[in-house]
Structure 1
């Protein structure tokens, strides 16, 4: 369950939880968010549907936890020694996941527009987590003196993730290594020009 509270019943089996998250991710990749069902997750994970509902209230919640699990494992925080290199490495890994995870993100974003409770969970857990990862990259640059201490890091987050969401949703241009390098260069150049 996304908010961390436990529902009544038997304690969660870690093996069952991991099987459910993997099954959910596999189902998402195979069928997309629109084709995801609790029945399909349960069958693939080898658990009863009630087991899933005991821990997650909806398919959106279990899909979100599945995505969180993938994001936490798949995008390490780089330390290449400089802002532009760090950002380029971070964004290349982030953008590289969009080919497989992009349809999932779109489905969860659509769900968040329909379900205010889920929107809060999506914002507070997934979006905040990705912003925190980027904040670590930017804070490394602040500590090295590459970004002024009074810089608006929130605006830099918005520039990075604004490009990601715009390109992901509207397919105006690719999310690839060239885009990662371009954004990294743009951000590094903008903070250098402030000095």
Structure 2
């Protein structure tokens, strides 16, 4: 993933700029700062200067710099986190986990900083839960539930727990890096998981 080479700074002009244009410039500037310098450098003053927008606008739109940093992060990386549905649950989980591991390896420092900052920033904690954690869990749980209804996953298996087993393990290696976070690790997680949840008579490896 490559961020923009330069932030699309708004240049002074006649008339009022569209809110969408101001928001786009702001989020791009905040993302550039977050990924290049870390969350501590995402301040309203720096973002406003970099984007060419009013600092007062940022105060009106975001309750804290942390909330702005999170929205910029999510806006920049949301396409990477899309959850496929090809009808093959193992292939879909593999594709999503590989993309997720790649994201954590490339942008893990920023993600860890956001998680850490949320512990003391209630506005950021709320945004993280409402915009990221719950929606991401819901996408995964819905995909796993569809596979369960299709008979690809054993009845009675708890999709919420599967989410914790897979994505929770990746976050654990990001935040407590005693072992490397790799796509091979993701594959081993899936090997272990499918050995226990595959429906009787169904071969998740396709053999």
More helix by proportion, 1 or 2?
Answer: 1
Q: Following the alignment from structure 1 to structure 2, what is the Cα–Cα distance between the partners of residues 181 and 81?
A: 19
Q: Following the alignment from structure 2 to structure 1, what is the Cα–Cα distance between the partners of residues 69 and 152?
A: 38
Q: Number of paired residues?
A: 186
TM-score, reference length from structure 1: 0.84
- Of 107-116 and 85-94, deviating more is 107-116
The 4+ residue runs of structure 1 with deviation greater than 4 A are none
| 2:138 aligned partner | 132
| 1:41 aligned partner | 47
- Residues 73 and 35 of structure 1: CA distance in aligned 2, closer, same or farther (over 3 Å): same
1:83-120 superposed Cα distances (whole Å, 9 cap, x missing partner):
22111100001111113321222111112211334323
| 2:198 aligned partner | 192
Matched, 1:111 2:94: no
Larger relative contact order (Cα-Cα within 8 Å, sequence gap ≥ 6): 1
- Residues 57 and 65 of structure 1: CA distance in aligned 2, closer, same or farther (over 3 Å): same
Q: Which runs of 5+ in 2 are unaligned?
A: 1-15, 202-207
Q: Following the alignment from structure 2 to structure 1, what is the Cα–Cα distance between the partners of residues 142 and 49?
A: 39
1:9-68 superposed Cα distances (whole Å, 9 cap, x missing partner):
x99711111111111111111101122222221122121211211100111111111122
1:127-183 superposed Cα distances (whole Å, 9 cap, x missing partner):
112212222331332233111343211111111222122111111222222122122
TM-score, reference length from structure 2: 0.80
Q: Following the alignment from structure 2 to structure 1, what is the Cα–Cα distance between the partners of residues 17 and 135?
A: 26
Q: Following the alignment from structure 1 to structure 2, what is the Cα–Cα distance between the partners of residues 101 and 133?
A: 21
Indicate the RMSD between aligned Cα atoms, in angstroms: 2.3
Secondary structure in 1 matching 2:138: helix
Q: Following the alignment from structure 2 to structure 1, what is the Cα–Cα distance between the partners of residues 200 and 69?
A: 41
Within the candidate set 141, 150, 174, 2:156 is matched to 150
Matched, 1:54 2:60: yes
- Of 42-51 and 137-146, deviating more is 137-146
Secondary structure in 2 matching 1:97: helix
